[in-house]
Copies of this chain bind each other. A is one copy, B any other.
């Protein structure tokens, strides 16, 4: 398939420096961190940043792709350890907490689950959707999840809970309340 010729040594060095600096910058200043600043801090011209990462989303995704993959793997682990319903609840918990702790990841998750967005067909989006699908389908077979919920709904709602939690800033009890509310609402009608 897509024959990936190895990068030239300097290109690869720049690519990796950019990723490292970008992760720091997003963590520090949020998803809107200055791209020019990232290039400067990485010691490269701004054009180089654009050559490697044509859009802000591309950089965001590259900087966090390993965390996304870890979350997808975690879904499968939980699916093996716990009954389907509990696995989904626990995964949602970790997903929401993780999304809030790592600034910038929320917007990445968001664009991955936006309908009609070109970014929706990214590796990270597909990864997450497949992971969610496995947990969702198992829980629905078991009867512990509302049957009208689609995998992508779960991801969107996690994004919503993360957004609500951000509004609570320092309030640690709020996020716990919001996640529990989400998982309660996901249970089938009484």
Alpha-carbon separation in the docked complex, A183 to B184 (Å): 10
Are A177 and B153 CB-contacts (below 8 A) given A116-B169, A169-B116?
yes
- Which B residues are in CB contact (< 8 Å) with A187? 184
A170 partner, pick from B116, B162, B183, B185, beta carbons under 8 A = B116
Please state if A114 and B167 are interface contacts (CB–CB under 8 Å). Answer: yes
A-side interface mostly? helix
**For A114, A115, A165, which residue has the most chain B Cβ atoms within 10 angstroms?**
A115
- Which B residues are in CB contact (< 8 Å) with A58? none
User: Mask for A140-157, Cβ within 8 A of B = 1, else 0?
Assistant: 000000101100010011
Is A171 in the interface zone, CB < 8 Å from B? yes
Alpha-carbon separation in the docked complex, A130 to B149 (Å): 33
A181 partner, pick from B115, B174, B185, beta carbons under 8 A = B185
Are A181 and B178 CB-contacts (below 8 A) given A115-B168, A164-B159, A167-B113?
no
Please state if B186 and A168 are interface contacts (CB–CB under 8 Å). Answer: no
Closest residue of chain B to A189, judged by CB? B184
